[in-house]
Structure 1
């Protein structure tokens, strides 16, 4: 907090309940010293500082790498002041005194950024996903993360590990699609000396290396059928044998798997073992494509930009172009576009032409495409199924408590009741699932 920001008493009380340390300073010089010495997640500053104008303060905060989100508070500002502050680099601008309601809205608008290269969640969908990930992180439950390539599945897996009781232990990631089939078994399970031609020394596999920690199996849908049975046994028995050995090694390990495939469809087509699917799909999390969480686009772009160490910002026109793009390559494509823009930019403002993205224009109306309509209907049904699975999992996590479930999902209890009614109309006995979950959790 910088200067006199006009907080009323309820706001001050609310600040004491939030999970961060509050720093209060009176001027620009003191604020910059704190930002240089500590990691600051959010700056709320008055527009009446004794040693700097608002624009000067915004510029000085922006020189810090990475610069924290900055909100300017003014009791009597005009629209022109707000526009000037935002263009200068402020994240938000609040006119008038900050009430409790305004503070809550302000905090909701700020992106959630994890330490290092963790998830960035500014959209409601991403915040809900991150909340679910935090909750399952405290358990040893196996997690299956689904989503298109480039949506951040491994980033989410690392987030779960970093917020788990195993965070001090090893996190091992293995891309099952990147290793030839005849080598993947040795990578997973290890081998002893002489097990096969070229095995001159014994070597532990990824399961052993990740023991006591977390093993992340990316692109799990690419594992060949012959290896799926062996993987299933390890997951069931929690023990592994190196190739060429009959000695079992006990495992205390957390498994997180990820795929960009539709494993349920692969099961129905006989391409993936059903028992292995259910062993992995204990707690499903789905990463939406970037085009379906557009609130994350600019925070992600700014995050990639900050990691480069250059003091640049996106012009308003460049920001609009980023928002208009469809992002078929998701966050990975966005990161590449930011890197490209750095090469093409000589000043301190990234312009649209530096992004080298195609111009987007409204598409003219065309005759209805029956095949496209069928695909859209299938996609709608799939999205609805994923949403219902997410709701049921959250409800079971909270032992049937409706209010807590609604809070986690970011919806009202009335909306939750309506969605549960839709699920019941499809023949799903929600109360039976809750009762079964409670019975399963009881000690035997």
Structure 2
């Protein structure tokens, strides 16, 4: 069983972007290279007869660098792709936004995080709405039904059934979400694309944005993180494995975050005052890229010691991809009590209510698997909104008051056909 992409995918973020452009003068679409940003912004440009400026085109880039103000003149929407290649466009955007405040004037797309943006990007603070576009979600590829996160925020989780086997889920995990990889017909072709992608980011993209003296170390560092995904990473231990200084290792770990290859999930404790001191977990943002980087196919991953860690990172990625579909601020974290009680993922709402998510690779679960969720429920009282244990079995069931078990496929609304 494989996840194959043979059609155009309508992104969940499409309607969100359309709405934002009705209200905001400038919108910045951020995400990793190859996540589909260019395709999405061109779709929007076509429907609005917008002016498109592609800064990945060196000829266009040369013109923009010479005279950005004239090149960006337009009465309607101006779409700028890979804007970080020409920092001068930011001052033009600022001038227009400050002068008119008219909604729907600029849509920018970039493949680097805020701290790697060129000098001058701070001029857009408070003037641009940022939206993250990750690689494709399984829900988008399969044209799934109700997304799990909005359903949990509403009331109880949806009651779903699943005919997917445990092996099927690991096929999805190693497929990842990059559109170009999903269009490859075979696992070998997909693995080849992943290898090329990682080399491109490490050797071409990052050196343009930062002083990267050891690009090969970035690829090795990513592989080390992939081997420890969903764990608490010791930067000192990683530095020793790479035979690099701790300062350089920390800087390179930050670089991997800024190009969206890894993410840190902060720790959470009961009581606001104690939150800041908890150590984060480090997750790969695309499990397909990570599995390929360490030479794991679905079978080896499912039967080995990293199965649970990759499943946890997969679920985090899918939940993160649903954040843009929810019109309220949410914070993601993990929980670990001093006594060793853990919950893999917490979603905290602005009013302090919490949703807990546990991830299991087993095909059956029981009340013992909800130990951490019950601990939080009993400690938080009414602040505990709901808890769910996601597992690889077929049915949704109740494990206690406000706590359920549900198939992992509840993330995309339950059973759907997956290409053979």
TM-score, normalized by length of structure 1? Answer: 0.21
TM-score, normalized by length of structure 2? Answer: 0.22
Q: Which has the larger radius of gyration?
A: 1
Larger RCO (CA under 8 A, 6+ residues apart):
2
